[in-house]
Amino acid sequence: MDARIKKSIKVLETVIKDLDFENPKQFSDSLGFERPERIYKILRGKSAISKNLAEIINKKYPQFGIDWLLTGEGSMKKSGKAESLEEPGVAYGEEVTLSSLKRDLNQISVGFTKNFEVLSEGVFQTLHRQEKIIDFIENINAEEISKATKALSKYLQEHK
């Protein structure tokens, strides 16, 4: 396997782990890709990170330098962190940067959007089912049910 491809695999695995994604598909989704094949192709050693992909990752996650994404050499993260965003009297476990805050807020926003879509679909399906039940109840004909029940009883007794 080509050395550049090996480095690309290691770089991508490091980025995914550093950003706390559970799997490559989540990372792919965060970049706005409709399908994760582009990421999996690199992780399977079929290709290296392209300049275009490095630019996409850097645009979304500017803490990762393009040169490091392409070569795996040098400093993984860009230097020059943003000023810490601590509130008076609150000690954070790690330094909070503007880019990490934006990333976290974006992930929260995506999560809320997905949850809202799922809940909306569930509510819609429930209302639709309730509407069907109401239509069924409104169209019940007691006489027809009685006749059908008697016919069924008679049939069952005749075919024991």
Confidence of residue 79 (pLDDT cuts 50, 70, 90): low
- Domains annotated for the chain, with CATH where assigned, are 1-78 (1.10.260.40), 113-158 (no CATH)
Percent of the chain whose predicted confidence (pLDDT) is above 90 = 49
- Mention every residue, 6+ apart, whose C-beta is less than 8 A from residue 18: 76
Instruction: Determine the Cα–Cα distance for residues 56 and 42; give it in Å rounded to an integer.
Output: 15
3-state secondary structure of 72: coil
Distance set, CA 36 to CA 24, 43, 93, 98, 144 (Å): 7, 11, 33, 27, 56
Q: Is the pTM of this model over 0.85?
A: no
Mean pLDDT for the stretch of residues 41-68: 94
Residue of 61, 76, 105 lying closest to 53 (CA atoms): 61
Average pLDDT along the chain: 84
pLDDT at 138: 82
Distance set, CA 97 to CA 11, 17, 22 (Å): 22, 18, 22
- Torsions phi, psi for 141 (to 5 deg): -115, 105
pLDDT in tens, 21-53: 999 999 999 999 999 999 999 999 999 999 999
